[in-house]
């Protein structure tokens, strides 16, 4: 029995919604595909339906930070993707699980949506301390002693993004220092260390 | 340990009652060299007996209660000698009483648990404690003597050249680094370090660390918000 997956797009543009709909509706996994134009629309939808993924214009998140952070915390299985046509700041990027650019190919969009719909199980298991894939990447490099700049180069992202990921890691775990995060990573089996016997 | 912001502290408040509101005051009293039993002392009576101004005592007590604003203007430069003695006694408490206790417990847990996480915690704590000792030494050997020299100087504006310049900004930054590491340690032990055995030792260690964290944070606020501004005003007088 296949799971009914509902996706919604929160963006005022009809062009963006139609384009996304055309690409994504082809996927067998998606049963509901709604166009929302305001946060109120979203609230109303959430009352009626279980949403698996929300593709949202980052401006909405930037202007309604408290609401979206609360939503993110309370809806553990809801995935967020940004739909970006102009510019998105690194701080805002950190909120999202995925980022879709209007210049992306339909293959990439399908792949992103597929990832969002299938990642529900992995995250709920809590094995990664609820860190996102990107945050895990940053954490792994951080505990090997790389600087922010080196991590940025390695992952092909900006230093600002690295810093944002670090902030989120600290926010989620309560640990800031590198040696502290190393202990966290070992305890979650994110890394293993060879320790000399004391 | 609960902070208590809602109880108004005044001269007539009995010491024992302060402690029942907030056990953290027991350690604050120790820093003032006020020991158990507390008898029926009030703030007023103990201050009179010990040569402490009630302004200083109550301001420090309100910091313990979580207050961070409107602290200047009450204790004055005349309170500095008593405040210095208070801070010195705090350092002895950290170095002679509580840190050795914590270090011993962590070493014990590491010896028993033998997990990579516990080994790392032991190492993490050693490094952290090293930084703390460095900071306390800096204060004991540089900052406090500097302030004492300022206090002993005659008012004629003669300057002392054999003490290094007191860099307030740099000094303030130390506190938050150290506090962050202790926060990390507490969160790690509470949330992530594995091991179902030794629950009693883990609980005791956690409670001790929380107590230490509470007192250290109050200590840092007292230095940043009361001590340093008073020293700065003393410097300006010259």
**A19: alpha, beta or left? (left if phi > 0; alpha if psi -120 to 50):** alpha
Range B94-122 average pLDDT: 93
Range A132-158 average pLDDT: 92
| Most confident among A120-129, B94-103, B170-179 (mean pLDDT) | B94-103
pLDDT band at B168 (very low <50, low <70, confident <90, very high): low
Q: What is the pLDDT of residues A1-22, one digit of tens each?
A: 346 688 999 999 999 999 999 9
Residue B69 pLDDT greater than 70, yes or no: no
Q: What is the pLDDT of residues A153-198, one digit of tens each?
A: 999 888 888 888 888 888 888 898 999 999 999 999 888 877 665 4
The pairing of strands A53-56 and A5-10 is parallel
Predicted pLDDT of residue A129? 53
In total, the C-beta contacts within 8 angstroms joining chain A to chain B are 56
Predicted pLDDT of residue B73? 59
Cβ(A155)–Cβ(A146) below 8 Å: no
Residue A127 pLDDT greater than 50, yes or no: no
Range B165-173 average pLDDT: 58
CA dihedral A143, A146, A150, A155 (to 10 degrees): -20
Residue B37 pLDDT greater than 90, yes or no: yes
Q: Which of residues 8-47 of B touch A (CB under 8 A)?
A: none
Chain B residue closest in CA terms to A180 = B184
Q: Which of residues 162-191 of B touch A (CB under 8 A)?
A: 180-181, 183-185, 187-188, 191
Low-confidence winner among A111-120, A176-185, B31-40, B53-62 (lowest mean pLDDT):
A111-120
Low-confidence winner among B11-25, B71-85, B107-121 (lowest mean pLDDT):
B71-85
Inform me whether the C-beta atom of residue A28 falls under 8 Å from chain B C-beta atoms.
no
Cβ(B61)–Cβ(B18) below 8 Å: yes
Query: Which residues in chain B touch residue A183, judged by CB atoms under 8 angstroms apart?
Result: 117, 120-121, 124, 188, 192-193
Residue B72 pLDDT greater than 70, yes or no: no
Residue B33 pLDDT greater than 50, yes or no: yes
Range B39-64 average pLDDT: 94
Helix (H) or strand (E) run with residue A83 in it:
strand A79-84
Q: What is the pLDDT of residues A45-58, one digit of tens each?
A: 888 888 889 999 99
Q: What is the pLDDT of residues B184-194, one digit of tens each?
A: 999 999 999 98
> Could you report the predicted ipTM of this complex, rounded to two decimals?
0.80
Low-confidence winner among A11-15, B27-31, B43-47, B195-199 (lowest mean pLDDT):
B195-199
Residue A61 pLDDT greater than 70, yes or no: yes
* Alpha-carbon distances of B218 from A24, B14, B58, rounded to whole Å: 56, 21, 14
Q: Is the Cβ pair A174, B116 closer than 8 Å?
A: no
Distance between CA atoms of A23 and A104, rounded to whole angstroms? 11
Range B32-43 average pLDDT: 96
Low-confidence winner among A15-19, A23-27, B4-8, B11-15 (lowest mean pLDDT):
B4-8
- Closest partner CB to A195 (pick from B116, B124, B192): B116
- Closest partner CB to A187 (pick from B117, B119, B124): B117
Q: State chain A's mean pLDDT as an integer.
A: 84
Predicted pLDDT of residue B154? 66
pTM: 0.66
Low-confidence winner among A123-132, A137-146, B151-160, B164-173 (lowest mean pLDDT):
A123-132
Predicted pLDDT of residue B161? 45
Distance between CA atoms of A190 and A16, rounded to whole angstroms? 38
Inform me whether the C-beta atom of residue A180 falls under 8 Å from chain B C-beta atoms.
yes
Q: Is the Cβ pair A183, B193 closer than 8 Å?
A: yes
Predicted pLDDT of residue B70? 64
Range B135-140 average pLDDT: 91
List of E strands, chain B = none
Q: Is the Cβ pair A198, B119 closer than 8 Å?
A: yes
């Amino acid at each position: 029995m296949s799971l009914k997956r509902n996706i919604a797009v929160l963006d005022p543009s009809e062009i963006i919604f139609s384009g996304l709909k055309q690409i994504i509706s082809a996927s067998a996994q998606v049963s509901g595909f709604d166009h929302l134009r305001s946060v109120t629309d979203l609230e109303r939808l959430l009352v009626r339906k279980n949403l698996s993924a929300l593709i949202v214009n980052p401006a909405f998140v930037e202007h309604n930070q408290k609401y979206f952070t609360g939503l993110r915390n309370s809806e553990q299985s809801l995935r967020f993707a940004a739909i970006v046509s102009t510019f998105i700041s690194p701080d805002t990027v950190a909120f999202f699980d995925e980022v879709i650019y209007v210049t992306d190919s339909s293959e990439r969009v399908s792949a992103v949506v597929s990832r969002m719909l299938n990642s529900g199980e992995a995250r709920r298991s809590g094995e990664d301390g609820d860190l996102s894939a990107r945050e895990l990447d940053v954490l792994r490099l951080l505990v090997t002693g790389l600087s922010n700049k080196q991590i940025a180069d390695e992952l092909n992202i900006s230093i600002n993004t690295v810093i944002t990921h670090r902030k989120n890691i600290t926010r989620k775990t309560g640990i800031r220092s590198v040696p502290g995060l190393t202990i966290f990573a070992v305890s979650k089996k994110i890394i293993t260390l060879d320790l000399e016997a004391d | 340990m609960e902070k208590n912001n809602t109880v108004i502290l005044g001269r007539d408040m009995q010491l024992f009652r302060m402690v029942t509101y907030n056990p953290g005051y027991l350690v604050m009293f120790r820093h003032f060299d006020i020991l158990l039993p507390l008898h029926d002392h009030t703030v007023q009576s103990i201050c009179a007996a010990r040569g402490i101004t009630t302004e200083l005592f109550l301001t420090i007590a309100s910091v313990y209660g979580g207050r961070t604003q409107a602290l200047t203007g009450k204790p004055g430069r005349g309170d500095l000698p008593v405040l210095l003695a208070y801070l010195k006694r705090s350092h002895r408490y950290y170095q002679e009483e509580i840190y050795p206790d914590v270090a011993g417990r962590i070493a014990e847990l590491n010896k028993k648990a033998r997990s990579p996480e516990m080994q790392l915690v032991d190492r993490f704590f050693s490094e952290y404690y090293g930084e703390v000792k460095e900071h306390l030494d800096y204060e004991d050997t540089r900052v406090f003597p500097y302030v004492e020299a300022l206090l002993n100087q005659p008012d004629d504006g003669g300057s002392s050249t054999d003490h290094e310049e007191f860099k307030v900004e740099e000094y303030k930054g130390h506190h938050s680094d150290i506090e962050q590491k202790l926060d990390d340690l507490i969160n790690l032990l509470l949330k992530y370090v594995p091991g179902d055995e030794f629950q009693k030792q883990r609980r005791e260690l956690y409670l001790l660390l929380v107590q230490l964290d509470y007192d250290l944070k109050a200590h840092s606020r007292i230095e940043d918000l009361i001590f340093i501004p008073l020293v700065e005003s003393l410097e300006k007088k010259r």
